[in-house]
Structure 1
Amino acid sequence: MPSTQYWQSLEGQALLNKIVRKRIPEWTSGLKHAQAEVVGKVLDGEKILWVSATGEGKSAAFQIPVIIHEEIGRNAELCPGFKAKEKPVGIVVTPTKGLAANIVTELSKLSVSAFAYTHNNVTQFHKDDIDIVQAISECRYRIVCVDPEHLKTEEWRRIASSSIFRSNILFACSEEAHLIDEWGNPDFRPDFRYIGTYFSSRLPSNISIFALSATVEPGESTSIICQHLSFRAANFHLIRGSNERPNTQFIVENLTHGIGGEIFPQLLPYLASGRKTIIHCQTLETVYRVYIYLISLIDDINYESLHLIRVYHSLCSDKYNTQTLNMLENNPNCQVVIATVAFANGINVRTLLDSISLGTSSSFNLTWQEKGRVGRDPSSLARGVLLVSPATLKKAEKYIEVFL
């Protein structure tokens, strides 16, 4: 019988990489060191807060464990004595429906079935007379993405009480964990503060609970997140890597035209390069003013030219936003997406090369997340551009002077 820390042993790590290379042959080198370390801890049922750069492959923490259980379930001789789950399942708590949909898409590329438990998807299942609660309770999906607000509903109490679900669940993950602190306030989305309560009170005590982020600062922010996830010094692992992006050039410029205006000529030199670009705006109104400005510069408006520029925000349909991500990946005519904060956290589009922020976001962490949408292919050269008011730049310079 393997020990309780088998997957962290040399033998366990070797088997882990052997299975990964078999099931995901395009990962020719297997898992990165940090990925293997974290996945081993997840498989051993431990608690983890993993902080590392965007694009470092943190998603492996929830992608790989179900694949390992599936493979050993089919080939028990790979690990004699290890009892693989018959229907392995994991929960991933996501802040936005866009991220949930993106995770489902990425998992499908690995032949892992997943479901995004969003309002639109649940409503559609009801219309089709499909009992999605029963489907999840019976572990028909390997990964279920759900937002914090749905966790407190009666449906999710029923799911967590299902004997089939409880006997097969491997882990519960809080994706983009920095938002537990940033968004989890009474005036915005207080249920972020209760993710850990749901995990500890509703789910089996022997599963792995872990949280992922690229932007959890040491100190108070880390302490708040750990407190809300019930992570104590002796019972969890803090794995903190660098979130440096060596393949991304950072550029800060003074805005030459106000964000409240109707023209944005500073964007044009960047867009003239033809590189795939995400433009981050702080309000929905700004998104559409930028969109109208850029569309007005196209000489011949036709069906194909409308593919050149897209918008992305939470009021767009799930179908439209998913189509936008697919076009960024696969349509060479789609160059520019203008987005709200809905595109800032976790979205993975490897073709994006330039991130331009019009104005400053609500926190530096969010700005860093915005820049993390580009250069996700480490062999690419990306640009992260901040266009800020002269007053904001002056304020930042004065702040830095204090420490010089």
Structure 2
Amino acid sequence: MSSSGLGNGSRVRELLECLVPHKVHDYITEGICQALDGQHLLSVVRTGGGKTGYFYGFMLVLRALSRLPRTHPMARNIPQHSKIVIIYPTKGLVEEMESTFRKLSLSVVAINEDTLVAARRRDEDLWTTAKTTSMILLSPEQLVSPHFSSLLDNKEFWNSICALGIDEMHLIHDWDTLGLKAGTYSFMRCSNIRHDIKLVIRTLRHGLSGWTFPDLRWIVEGTRKTIIYGDTITLIYRLLVYFWHEVTPSIPRQIRFRMYASICDQEYNSETCRLFEVDPHCQVVLATDAAKVGNDWSAIADAIILNPKDPNDIIQKSGRVGQKHGAVRSPRAFVYFTKAQMDKAVNLSINPTGNGKKGKQGTGKDEWLTEDMRAKTSRKVSTMRPALTEKQSEELRKDILTWQHNIWQNSNNARIRNMPLRSLLDKSAVDKLVARIMAISEAEQVPQQSDFGDRPCDFPQQRSTGSGTSLS
């Protein structure tokens, strides 16, 4: 089905706008027309650019065309009970998209490790459900499962598959593994420049291996909705404990600071998403890469990226802020590097040949600071952190024990459920942790982060954030 045969996609756009509660972008309708015409499609769209519309738009148009009489000029030979299989990189994204598609009255099933366990508890076989479902959403590991292989061997199911979709294509380094060779697919690239994001680079003055993080103390004093990315579950857990210690009791700790990770229970992660969107008291989400792609949280004002792995890591994570135009004021991304990384970058900028010689003394890492910023970073402001009272330490101990117990008791994650409770809920370890926090509180002089306030810093704007979608 060519776009020219549909009035340059105008008929498809009119059809979609009758079925969805928003305007459909031109590049979405053009891509859908190309996919309906049997062409492979690779599309690059900015974060928040509506690329999910390729998938649900394709199925909505396909369903509408299948209901047309044979004599209709737009009628096409479409398989009965047509289906699309879509691969998402994370479990959370699979479940998030399931909810999105259900709101559009599309039959959908999400299959990953957690949903399979939950389905077994209610005596449902999701692989059987998939046979009668229009949209099958899978996490990557399910592609090599014997159940999926058996499903593909079903002739009726195989003949009903109209498309294979792969979201977040930028996570696949070698496109050739999908058969996308030059001349065999359409490449639609939309502008993914985010002029609205202010990029702020900072150097960590303290390590990330301990239980205190004074570089991030400024977040507690603010009110902006923030997502903090850590590279391990243990890091974001230690950050959670630190923030719980620092925060005033006016707002419940378990509401203001939340975790989002694959190890957390599905219901806990879903509740975190809901609270972050609707509850003004839910301020900070501490996340692993599970929240790196796909989440459509419109309220994120700041993203904190700790020790990023590569430039793409910065681009993807910073692209989470300000996705909905006008929803937040001055969206910002703060990237924290270790001093060793910053020194290495400075030496490379001075000596790009990389011959191992250091640059001249007196030039380098502070050259890019304004006078105002250099003055602020040079000040050492030290304050004594107030010690925890016995009541506060007992409250902290109870909060940690309750949080750990709830994870074990309510988890659908097989790895957690198979662990002995005592290995997760270790009271002696918690007591040692609280005692250590108290000792640090009483003895340590903590230099606070030299903050530039709540205003954006004068750093270069982020050039681009975006992701890719493949439909074939």
**1:102-158 per-position Cα deviation (integer Å, ceiling 9, x unaligned):** 1112223333332221112112223333232222123x2x32211222112221122
Indicate yes or no: 2:233 matched with 1:284.
yes
Indicate yes or no: 2:256 matched with 1:308.
yes
Indicate how the Cα distance of structure 1 residues 8 and 250 shifts in structure 2: closer, same or farther if over 3 A, else same. farther
Higher RCO (C-alpha under 8 Å, 6+ residues apart): 2
Indicate yes or no: 2:176 matched with 1:180.
no
In 2, distance between residues paired with 1:13 and 1:75? 18
1:2-151 to 2 correspondences below 5 Å: 4-5=1-2, 7=3, 9=5, 11=7, 13-25=9-21, 27=22, 30-74=23-67, 76=69, 80-138=74-132, 140=133, 142-151=134-143
Aligned-pair CA distance for 1:78: 7.3
Indicate how the Cα distance of structure 1 residues 282 and 85 shifts in structure 2: closer, same or farther if over 3 A, else same. same
In 1, distance between residues paired with 2:220 and 2:199? 16
Query: Given residue 165 of structure 1, which amino acid in structure 2 is its aligned partner?
Result: F
Query: Given residue 338 of structure 2, which amino acid in structure 1 is its aligned partner?
Result: S
Indicate yes or no: 2:301 matched with 1:353.
yes
Query: Given residue 123 of structure 1, which amino acid in structure 2 is its aligned partner?
Result: V
Aligned-pair CA distance for 1:178: 2.5
**1:52-85 per-position Cα deviation (integer Å, ceiling 9, x unaligned):** 3222111111121111122334455875422445
Indicate yes or no: 2:179 matched with 1:165.
no
- Per the normalisation by structure 1, the TM-score is 0.80
Aligned-pair CA distance for 1:270: 4.2
Contact 2:65 2:75 in 1 (8 A): no
Contact 1:356 1:384 in 2 (8 A): yes
One of 148, 153, 165 as aligned partner of 1:156? 148
Q: Percent identity?
A: 25
Greater C-alpha radius of gyration:
2
One of 216, 234, 246 as aligned partner of 1:267? 216
Structure 2: runs of 5 or more not aligned: 354-472
In 1, distance between residues paired with 2:265 and 2:140? 20
Structure 1: runs of 5 or more not aligned: 182-223
Indicate yes or no: 2:232 matched with 1:236.
no
Contact 1:42 1:61 in 2 (8 A): no
CA RMSD of aligned residues (A): 2.3
Indicate how the Cα distance of structure 1 residues 271 and 169 shifts in structure 2: closer, same or farther if over 3 A, else same. farther
Contact 2:220 2:246 in 1 (8 A): no
Contact 2:68 2:75 in 1 (8 A): no
SS at the partner of 2:9?
helix
In 1, distance between residues paired with 2:299 and 2:244? 22
1:186-265 to 2 correspondences below 5 Å: 224-225=174-175, 227-265=176-214
SS at the partner of 2:324?
coil
SS at the partner of 2:128?
helix
Aligned-pair CA distance for 1:384: 0.8
Query: Given residue 120 of structure 1, which amino acid in structure 2 is its aligned partner?
Result: D
Indicate yes or no: 2:323 matched with 1:323.
no
In 2, distance between residues paired with 1:68 and 1:285? 45
Which residue is 2:312 aligned to? 365
269-278 vs 345-354, greater mean Cα deviation:
269-278
In 2, distance between residues paired with 1:400 and 1:241? 32
Which residue is 1:202 aligned to? none
